[in-house]
Structure 1
Amino acid sequence: MKLAGLKSVENAHDDSVWTAAWVAETDARPALLLTGSLDETVRMWRPDDLELERTSTGHCLGVVSVAAHPSGVIAASASLDSFVRIFDVDTNATIATLEAPPSEVWQLQFNPKGTTLAVAGGGSASVMLWDTSTWQLIATLQIPRLEGSKPADKSSGKKFVLSVAWSPDGRRLACGSVDGTISIFDIARAKFMHHLEGHFMPVRSLAYSPIEPRLLFSGSDDAQIHMYDSEGKTLAGAMSGHASWVLSIDVAPDGVAIATGSSDRTVRLWDLGMRAAIQTMSSHNDQVWAVAFRPPGGSSRGGRLASVSDDKSISLYDYS
């Protein structure tokens, strides 16, 4: 397995690019890459040449997370203004605006069936679940304190939620917090299951394996990448190699590799069999906020990985 640089776009946005997600292809168009920036816009790019398709506006502060519905028809963007905007990918028409007070939203993700949107509520120490047919709030999952920890006035601040990930079957939701803990919820019962421990700094990114549904990957400011058996509550492995914070993590569609982006300005490809980094890409000159593999399927041939950075650029790689 390897990455090969295909194209980089400098000044893809007018400010730092903090988030990226792939939109599935439809009968009318190919897959698209969504990027969100502190310049308050979401931009859509063609998948092979990174030509700008359109720019979406609607937020009044920086966009920190984007997510695409499995249908490829709608997408969501979250901003530091505490609003989530749901919009039509092809027309940019606003479908719904969700408010997530009392503080900024950090990450959001649709479940695999597209019926629910999970929104990490930042300083509210909770994750909100929205029904995508009515856009009504259906549950608020409170992140509990770790067993044995002492209550404190600032406990909710320490539980500031940064990241969310759905299991492949949609039955579980993993939530990463500033204190380094990962909380696992049973979604059918809206019930907290258990914590996963091992990180001691913020968990900024989570991703389940598409091949091994129990296997959860996490990236943290402690520069570590962890692999957990999320059902068995056990740490299955740890990998290190980045010189600084791991800001983003994604699992390749074949399940044999992961990619990570770091504040050390690199993108790394990791062989899960070897549990080691096998390639380091240095196409960015500032911290890499997001990495995202293009999902398989449709007419797309060949794997693709995208990365975005504080340097305002987007890079596209061939994964084979």
Structure 2
Amino acid sequence: MFAPTKNYSNPDAEAIWVSTWLPNGEVATGSVDGTTSIWTPSLEQKFNLKSQHMGVVSISASEENGIVATSTVDGYVCIRATDTGIPSKSITLGPMEVWPIVLTSDGKRLITGNGAGIVKIWNIEGETFEAVGEVETNSGFIMSMAISKDNAYVATGHKNGIVNVIGLVRKTIIHTYNDHSMAVRCLCFSPSSRLYTGSDDKTIISYNVLTKESVVEHTYSGHSGWVTGVSVSADEQYLASCGTDRKMIVWPLKTDNSMQTLDCHNGIVWSVAFNREGTRIVSTGDDGSIQIYDRQESI
């Protein structure tokens, strides 16, 4: 299904906690030392943007206007141009006031989640951050967040295992799922608005958020540790996941083929992401390495 092709490794590199693909096929990463980097498709480092702030815990790229947003452990949020790496605006919200972030596809809004369970919506079209809405989830610390491809829904994963789905038009919670027994560290939406949630309970659960019922659609069990990252291919043929068991797993979603397990990291695998076309996967880990996997069959 997928084969490891490109790799970056450096024995002196810091752990890389987060990653995302840019629309042009480049990769953006964030590290434990607060560094944000942008890499070419062949994993040559294009920018290495150091910061005085602590570890980068979340990263999100827009589809349309060439920006990438990052948040750090100490509550610093930065918006950068992907072609230059230069910050266009930033805000320091403080520890626990921001953890996960997501950009809308047009890059006009930034959505943040915090330690009190509050989701905030920011207008970032101007020179500063303008708060334009918020939703109180009443579910405690927000560890993870994802936005649907059509910008209609935001999902939040919480430390207590709860998952909420928020409708962005009315800014209200439309689903609350209580099916994980431990923290939900990662979430992703498929193009058809299937929601996939990964947890410290070692499982991944899928839901159809378009239905009225808040029921489990499928449960995936294969990791022997926390699930730290999930991503779905553009054609929804594959789900990729990673975890503290040092593994990256590819799950066929529409065939009976067995899952594919890849062991390319020497430590915890913290992030995994499909590119826009669904032809490549990137993973990053505690060992400071970046691995790219290429799809072996044509789409």
Q: Note whether the superposition's TM-score is higher than 0.5.
A: yes
Q: Of residues 215, 218, 221 in structure 2, which corresponds to 1:240?
A: 221
Question: RMSD of the TM alignment (CA)?
Answer: 1.8
Aligned residue in 1 for 2:196: 217
Letter in 1 for 2:109: T
CA distance in 2, matches of 1:67, 1:190: 21
Whether 1:113 and 2:106 are equivalent positions in the alignment is: yes
Whether 1:56 and 2:35 are equivalent positions in the alignment is: no
Whether 1:36 and 2:36 are equivalent positions in the alignment is: no
CA distance in 1, matches of 2:257, 2:204: 10
| 1:83-139 per-position Cα deviation (integer Å, ceiling 9, x unaligned) | 101111222222111233451632211123333211122x12112211121331111
The Cα shift of 1:8 comes to 1.7
Q: What are structure 2's unaligned runs of at least 5 residues?
A: none
CA distance in 2, matches of 1:201, 1:162: 12
Aligned residue in 2 for 1:189: 170
Letter in 2 for 1:5: P
**Between 236-245 and 129-138, the greater mean CA deviation after superposition:** 129-138
**TM (normalized to structure 2)?**
0.92
Q: Of residues 298, 303, 306 in structure 1, which corresponds to 2:279?
A: 303
CA distance in 2, matches of 1:170, 1:66: 17
Tell me the percent identity: 30
Q: What are structure 1's unaligned runs of at least 5 residues?
A: 26-30, 146-158, 297-301
The Cα shift of 1:274 comes to 4.7
Q: Of residues 133, 139, 157 in structure 2, which corresponds to 1:139?
A: 133
The Cα shift of 1:164 comes to 0.9
Q: After the TM superposition, which residues 262-277 of structure 1 pair with which residues of structure 2 at under 5 Å, given as runs?
A: 262-274=243-255
Aligned residue in 2 for 1:177: 158
CA distance in 2, matches of 1:161, 1:279: 30
Letter in 1 for 2:207: Y
Aligned residue in 1 for 2:295: 319
Whether 1:3 and 2:12 are equivalent positions in the alignment is: no
CA distance in 1, matches of 2:276, 2:255: 24
| CA distance 1:3–1:72, shift in 2 (3 Å) | farther
Whether 1:81 and 2:74 are equivalent positions in the alignment is: yes
CA distance in 1, matches of 2:35, 2:11: 11
CA distance in 1, matches of 2:224, 2:183: 16
CA distance in 2, matches of 1:126, 1:45: 33
Alignment partner of 1:198: what SS? coil
**TM (normalized to structure 1)?**
0.86
CA distance in 2, matches of 1:88, 1:169: 23
Letter in 1 for 2:118: S
Aligned residues: 292
